[in-house]
Amino acid sequence: MSMRITLGRPDDMHLHLRDGAMLEAVLPETARHFARAIVMPNLVPPVVTGRDAAAYRARILAALPAGMAFEPLMTLYLTEATEAEDVAAAHAAGLIRAVKLYPAGATTNSQSGVRDFDRVRGVLERMAEIGLTLCVHGEVTDPEIDIFDREAVFIDRVLEPIRRATPGLRVVMEHVTTSDAVDYVRAGDETLAATITTHHLILNRNHILAGGIRPHYYCLPVAKRERHRLALRAAATGGETRFFLGTDSAPHPDSLKESACGCAGCFTATNTLPILAHVFEEEGALDRLEGFTSRHGAAFYGLAPNPGTVTLIRGEPVAFPARIETGAGPVTVFDPGFAVCWRVAG
C-alpha cells in the first residue's frame, strides 16, 4: 500500500559530525533531511571553549554543500578546567545551546571529561541560573560495574545527586538505553528530558553478539536486553514530550569498526527517518512521529519549530547505500536487519 506522511522539518538533538574529510562526507547525510542538530563536541582535541565552538561552527558551515540549509546547534565539552564565565559568555552570545558532560573514559574521546563531579559544580550552578542545558552521557566508568549496568548505576550515583544539588539545572539524559532511565525521566520534572537513538529502537544485545559479533551494532551505551528496547519504543512512540530524537549517528571508518578493538558508534544519518517511520508504523503511532522528530526536542531547547516539511513515502523496499565513501575511508550505514519500505520524498 502506498502511503505518505508529512512532518515538520526535523531536528537531530544528538549528532556527531567529526571534522575534516569525515565532516565533509557525513554533513550532507544529515542536512538533506534535518534542519538543525545538537552537535557533539568530542573532537580531538575537544571543543572546550566558546572560541573553539565558534571555530568548529565555521568549519561545519564551510563544509555544507551549496544549496543546503542547516543550522548546527553548538555544544561545549565540559572539563574540570571549564570556566563558568566562558560558558556564560558563549551562551549569552547565542553561540551554544548546551554543555556536554562525559564522565572521563566513558566513550569515544572522553578522556578529557569529568572525573570528580565536585569540580564542575560551579559551572553547573551557573548553567542552572542562565537556563543552559546539560547533555549527559549517562554511564559510570567504574570497572567494577558491569557494562550493561552502567547507565542504571549512573542515575543513582551521579545524575540524581547532581540534580538534587543543582535545582533548576536543565538536563538531557542522552541516548537512553534502559527502562531504568525511561522511568527516571518520566518521574522527573520539566527540567529533565531524554534523547533516544534510532538504533536503540531496533537493537537488543543479542543483535550484537548472537551468531557472530557485529561491530557495526556496537555503540555506547551498549544495547541492552529486549525488555529495555521495548521500554524505549514505548517512550519514543508514546507521544511523551520529554522524549525526543537524538540519533547519536557516530561515523567511524570501517577499518576502525571491523577491528580487534572496534570503536563504538552506529552511523544512522542516511536512513534514520525511513527507519523511524517503519518503527512508528509498527507501533501504530505514525501520528506521533512528528512530535518525536520535530517538536518535542525544539520545545525543550526553547527553539521555534522549523519552517518547512519533509515527506515520507511508503512503497517498495528501499535499497539504502551499504556504505558512504569519505576521505577518511568508507563508513558503513546502519542496517536495521529488515526491509524498510519508507523513503524521504524529493
Q: Could you list the residues that contact ligand DOR (CB under 6 A)?
A: 16, 42, 107-108, 137, 219-220, 248, 250, 264-265
Tell whether residue 248 is a contact of Zn ion (CB under 5 A): yes
Which of the choices Zn ion, ligand DOR, none does residue 264 contact, using the CB cut-off of 5 to 8 A by kind?
ligand DOR
Of these partners, Zn ion, ligand DOR, none, which one is at the site of residue 340 (CB under 5 to 8 Å by kind)?
none
CA dist., res. 105 & res. 228, Å (int) = 24
Q: Considering CB distances under 5 to 8 angstroms, the limit depending on partner class, which of Zn ion, ligand DOR, none binds residue 220?
A: ligand DOR
Catalytic residue, chosen from 12, 52, 180, 248, is: 248
> Cβ closer to ligand DOR: 64 or 264?
264
Q: Are β-strands 171-173 and 133-136 bridged in parallel, bridged antiparallel, or unpaired?
A: parallel
Q: Are strands 133-136 and 96-101 parallel, antiparallel or unpaired?
A: parallel
Q: Least distance (Å) from ligand DOR to the CB of residue 108? A: 4
Q: How far is the CB of 74 from ligand DOR (least distance, A)?
A: 16
Residue type, 237: T
Q: How far is the CB of 247 from Zn ion (least distance, A)?
A: 9
Nearer to Zn ion, 12 or 248 (CB): 248
Of the ranges 208-216, 240-248, 273-281, 332-340, which one interacts with Zn ion (CB under 5 A)? 240-248
Compute CA distances 227 → 151, 182, 239, 243, whole Å: 15, 12, 19, 18
Q: Is 85 exposed, middle or buried (0-12, 13-18, 19+ CB in 10 A)?
A: exposed
Active site residue 248: yes
* CB of 318 vs Zn ion, minimal distance in Å: 26
Nearer to ligand DOR, 43 or 341 (CB): 43
Long-range Cβ contacts of 219-222 (<8 Å, 24+ apart): 219/248, 219/250, 219/264, 219/265, 219/266, 220/106, 220/107, 220/108, 220/137, 220/139, 220/264, 220/265, 221/138, 221/139, 221/150, 221/151, 221/175, 221/177, 222/147, 222/148, 222/177, 222/264
Name the minimum Å distance from CB 208 to ligand DOR: 12
CB 279 within 8 A of CB 237: yes
Sole window of 28-36, 140-148, 242-250, 279-287 interacting with Zn ion (rule: CB under 5 A): 242-250
Residues taking part in catalysis:
248
**Residues lying near Zn ion in the complex (CB under 5 A):** 248
